[in-house]
Amino acid sequence: MTVPRVTRRQPRVARQPSAATPPAVTRLRKWCRGRGWKPFPFQETVWRNMLDGASGLLHAPTGTGKTLAAWLGALARSHGRAATTGRDQPQSARGGPRIIWLTPLKALAADTVRALEEPLADLRGDWLDGQWRVGLRTGDTSAGERQRLRARWPDALVTTPETLSILLSLDDAHDIFAGLETVVVDEWHELLSTKRGVQTELALARLRTLAPGLCTWGLSATLANLDEAVAALVGPAGADAARLVKADIPRRLVIETLIPEPMERFPWAGHMGMRLLPQVIATIERAATTLVFTNTRAQAERWFEAIGTARPDWKATIALHHGSVDRELRTRAEDGLRRGTMKCVVATSSLDLGVDFGPVEQVLQIGSPKGIARLLQRAGRSGHAPGATGRLVCVPTHALELIECAAARTAAEAGVVEARPPLVGAVDVLAQHIVTVACSGGFREAELLAEVRSTHAFSSLDESSWRWAIDFAAQGGPALGAYPDFARIKQRFGRWYIASQAIARKHRMSIGTITGAATVDVKWLRGGRLGTVEESFISRLNEGDRFLFAGRPLKLFRFDGLTAWVKRARGTANLQVPRWNGGRMPLSMLLSAAVLELVRSAPGKRRAPREVQAVLPLLEIQSQWSRLPDPNTLLIERAHSRDGQHAFLFPFAGRLVHDGLAALVAWRIASRKPDTFVLAANDWGLQLAGRTPFAADERTWRQLLSPTNLLADLMQCLNGTEMAKRHFREIARVAGLVSGARQTNRQTQASAGLIFDVLTEHDAENMLLAQARREVLEQQFEFQRLRAALERIATQEIVVIDTPRLSPLAFPIWAEQIQSRLSTQGWLERITEMARELEEAAAG
């Protein structure tokens, strides 16, 4: 099999609207000249298209001037409209903003305001009205500031999708948005394949209703599915007329990989990769400022601690940055990066996005980048000084990751990139949106349905799902029809309205689609906040236990249910590191195929990439003990250890698909005869472990891996696991079943798991349950990819090999920390078995 080629459709070349240069473009050129540079052709194309009233998507690598293209274009459009309508006055008390700038992270919003303010200083009073203002409203905006904004709206408002939804729920949303001219969605690729993207699509459709003639622009990194990105942004009906503009400016970028020396001592498995610390330190030394990216927060904590211990002289100039670290500490790290006073900042995806930090010379990526787009995004955070080259160094955490690094590097160099498919049919987001619209003056069903269907996400929404969403908003679903004590929206004379102001208030508090696990504050005993950590981690610790957090060794002094009070701990040995959920992306499909191709072709190939040459001895062992996998064969290894019997399968389909496959195969075996299996997966393959030997013949495996009855079998084994229940939490939050914030009212506290049980028992038809199952299939197991994997396996030869011990490919899967269990045994049998295991372990 070859690397799947990305279909790059011919972009609709944005046409030049008119040959003559509009005065606004001349004015903007002049402004650029005043700053000592000349606008790029793509920037002028965007300006002309916006002046023309067209919508569209601008895609380019990070740091190429997308912001100025869209911002100056929006200003030019606003200026032109003002000239023709005579609305060249500062905003009156009643009028709302003319431009909305949506940013995916509220942490970025303040930076964005600063970036937008910059050209205004020159343009105000000359070209624009002297009073032209940019405002900011996010979830962090104080009540007083919100009042001031409402009293007099700024001309341009920077906000997030959640806050936009809140604004849409206000009584006077119609008045606020009637004069809106342009909406710009920044970092559209980040929102695209998430529920926040769906929420944004619905909000944009609403804005198009409130402000006909609205011009919508998205800014995005390059994607394989730009057409879908456009359709999701402007709605399928508007997609044909929308323009796709590519910022075609070459950016120099160098990608390398650290090769461990000596290679023999580099581990076969592991997540931290500390063995490369000396080389990492040497790499940091050679640049003035380095950004170190990790894949998980635990990795970030460990690496920050290790770098600080190795180089105490850097103490004041290194910082840690991840989503759980307190905002103030993060801001300090960002300011340091901006001013160039930082030697090195260790970060997770918390720094993937945002305004560029000029001084960053190089980026280190700890662990496999897992995707080409992600590699490019992170690499793009370096080399923004004029004339500089971006530079990214991959740091593998175990031997086989070298191959992933090689695959990502070669693909990036070849200009290949993944797709980000937008989500469709999220009824939880729809239910939330219906209540939002009901809050702002109500709606007629037919009108709102047409509006909702104008989005990409709900273009094929069927009547019954719509009916259910309305019912759910009105009375909590059909099962609750008999309870008059519950109603969120009520119908009067053919229009739906919010049932009460109290419910509107509560709804506004809970708008949003981001959900997180329950977290607790971490505070110094002597005062000061360090950040937040997951409740599940803290509750496992005892008072006096030591752990690493926010880059500091801490000792838990007391945990009172809301706050973990800590003191500084001495020494860094044996510290526990919180394991935050999430953050572990599966290897993208493109990369999986590229990795398999590298593994297959490596031994015979004289000119294999350097990274692959370094692991050749390991691949040699693999082919001696077992064999090398290839695209035409599914390799299955059988082995036994002290833990019992193992089967390893190597479909190379990504971790999530392997999770699903492992559950499916285990369930298919255990449905014949009650049994219990331990499952583990990584991006290359999966493991089943049990007490009895696994089949050795190809025929049995072919049955176990058959694509027939896939959906039914997967649904069955989902019921046997806790997965749907775990996923329900997020859905329940979005649909308003449980509150995201810590509830002040103790009378209405319940975990999502508990509500899941109640619904399963007493309202089995609830569509949110169906959605939970569907989302597990799609998001947890990447169902489409899983089916494709099984269909591919059906055409492959299956080879079963008994290995004398765990092979180099099997070992990392066996060592995976995250394992799950699938059992079809009764509860009593399970508990008996657990008792036996515990007794054995205790006996030694």
Q: Binding to other proteins by residue 770, rule CB under 8 A?
A: no
Residue type (1 letter), 522:
V
Distances (CA, A) of 705 to 366, 716, 789: 35, 16, 10
Residue whose token pair is 């599915």: 225
539 binds other proteins (CB under 8 A): yes
Smallest gap from Cβ 203 to other proteins, in A, equals 22
Pick from 142, 147, 745, 795 the residue near other proteins by CB under 8 A: 745
In what helix (H) or strand (E) does residue 577 lie, and over which residues does it extend?
A: none
816 binds other proteins (CB under 8 A): no
User: CA-CA distance, 591 to 655, in Å (whole number)?
Assistant: 12
Q: Which is nearer to other proteins, 414 or 818 (CB)?
A: 818
How far apart CA 665 and CA 670 sit, in angstroms, is 9
Could you give the CA distance from residue 600 to residue 844 in angstroms, rounded to a whole number? 42
Is 749 a binder of other proteins (CB under 8 A)?
A: yes
What gap in Å lies between CA 176 and CA 687, rounded to an integer? Answer: 57
- 105-113, 136-144, 324-332, 475-483 -> range binding other proteins (CB under 8 A): 475-483
Closer to other proteins by CB, 210 or 755: give it: 755
Is residue 744 at the binding interface for other proteins, with CB under 8 A as the rule? no
* Contact track, other proteins, 598-637, x by CB under 8 A: ----------------------------------------
Nearest distance in Å: CB 472, other proteins: 7
Query: Measured from the CB of residue 435, what is the shortest distance to other proteins in angstroms?
Result: 9
Query: Other C-beta atoms within 10 Å of 454: how many?
Result: 20
759 binds other proteins (CB under 8 A): yes
Q: Does 840 bind other proteins (CB under 8 A)?
A: yes
Contact 680, 687 (CB under 8 A): yes
Q: Which of 176, 211, 439, 755 binds other proteins (CB under 8 A)?
A: 755
Q: Of 20 and 842, which has the nearer Cβ to other proteins?
A: 842
Q: How far apart are CA 803 and CA 798, in angstroms?
A: 16
Residue 104, token pair as written in the block: 């995916």
Taking CB under 8 A as the binding criterion, the range among 73-81, 112-120, 793-801, 815-823 that sits at the site for other proteins is: 815-823
Tokens of residue 263, six digits: 């290679």
- Applying CB under 8 A, among 172, 521, 713, 763 the residue interacting with other proteins is 763
Single out the segment in contact with other proteins by CB under 8 A; choices: 106-114, 122-130, 619-627, 830-838.
830-838
| 329-337, 340-348, 598-606, 744-752 -> range binding other proteins (CB under 8 A) | 744-752
End-to-end CA distance of the chain: 48
Contact call for residue 316 and other proteins (CB under 8 A): no
What is the pattern of x (binds other proteins, CB under 8 A) and - over residues 485-504? xx-x--------------x-
Q: How far is the CB of 125 from other proteins (least distance, A)?
A: 50
| 830 near other proteins (CB under 8 A) | yes
Tell me the closest approach of the beta carbon of residue 503 to other proteins, in angstroms: 5
Distance, CA of 552 to CA of 555 (rounded, Å): 10
Does residue 821 bind other proteins (CB under 8 A)? yes
CB of 63 or CB of 812, closer to other proteins: 812
**Nearer residue to other proteins within complex by CB, 184 or 737:** 737
Residue 559 to residue 521: CA distance in whole angstroms = 10
Handedness of CA 449, 455, 459, 462 (dihedral sign): negative
Q: How far apart are CA 77 and CA 53, in angstroms?
A: 8
By CB under 8 A, tell whether 569 contacts other proteins. Answer: no
Question: 101: part of which helix (H) or strand (E)?
Answer: strand 99-102
Asked if residue 477 binds other proteins (CB under 8 A), the reply is yes
DSSP string, 731-787: HHHHTTSS-SSPPS-GGG---HHHHHHHHHHH-TT-HHHHHHHHHIIIIIT-HHHHH
CA 92 vs CA 96, 154, 157, 176: distances in Å = 8, 10, 15, 11
Regarding 480 and contact with other proteins (CB under 8 A), the answer is: yes
If the CB atoms of residues 414 and 834 are measured against other proteins, the closer one turns out to be 834
Tell which one of 737, 767, 769, 790 touches other proteins (CB under 8 A). Answer: 737
Check residue 757 for interaction with other proteins (CB under 8 A): yes
The residue (of 420 and 725) whose beta carbon lies closer to other proteins is 725
CB 789 within 8 A of CB 653: yes
The CA–CA distances, whole Å, from 19 to 49, 305, 383 equal 13, 59, 36
Is 560 among the residues that bind other proteins (CB under 8 A)? Answer: no
The DSSP output letter for 290 is E
Residue 217 in the binding site for other proteins (CB under 8 A): no
Nearer to other proteins, 245 or 489 (CB): 489
**Region near other proteins per CB under 8 A, out of 67-75, 111-119, 658-666, 746-754:** 746-754
d(CA 192, CA 455): 13
SS (H, E, C) 23-65: HHHHHHHHHHHHCCCCCCHHHHHHHHHHHCCCCEEEECCCCCC
On whether the CB atoms of residues 638 and 646 are closer than 8 A, the answer is yes
The answer to whether residues 617 and 265 touch, using CB atoms and an 8 Å cutoff, is no
Closest CB to other proteins among 85 and 748? 748
Tokens of 210: 């409130």
Instruction: Check residue 838 for interaction with other proteins (CB under 8 A).
Output: yes
Q: Does 472 sit near other proteins (CB under 8 A)?
A: yes
Using the rule CB under 8 A, which residue among 97, 442, 551, 736 binds other proteins?
736
Is 133 a residue that touches other proteins (CB under 8 A)? Answer: no
3-class secondary-structure state, position 333? helix
Based on the shown chain and the rule CB under 8 A, indicate whether residue 841 belongs to the binding site for other proteins.
yes
Compute the distance between CA of residue 844 and CA of residue 835 in angstroms, rounded to an integer: 14
Residue 69 binds other proteins (CB under 8 A): no
Angle at 338 between CA 332 and CA 339, to 5 degrees: 90
The piece of 217-225, 304-312, 588-596, 834-842 that touches other proteins (CB under 8 A) is 834-842
User: What is the distance, to the nearest Å, from the Cα of residue 282 to the centroid of all Cα atoms in its chain?
Assistant: 32
Among 313, 463, 697, 839, interactor with other proteins by CB under 8 A: 839
Q: What part of residues 675-714 is at the interface with other proteins (CB under 8 A)? A: 676, 678
Taking the complex as a whole, the smallest distance from the CB of residue 676 to other proteins amounts, in Å, to 7
Q: In this complex, which beta carbon is closest to other proteins, that of residue 169 or of residue 397? A: 169
Burial class of residue 526, CB neighbours in 10 A (0-12, 13-18, 19+): exposed
Distance CA 609, CA 403 (A): 9
Q: Is the dihedral of CA 35, 120, 183, 208 positive or negative?
A: negative
Nearer to other proteins, 151 or 482 (CB): 482
Nearest distance from residue 657's CB to other proteins, in Å?
21
Contacts with other proteins, residue ranges (CB under 8 A): 472, 475-477, 479-480, 482-483, 485-486, 488, 503, 506-507, 539, 643, 676, 678, 736-738, 745, 747-751, 754-755, 757-759, 761-763, 819-821, 823, 827-828, 830-831, 833-835, 837-842
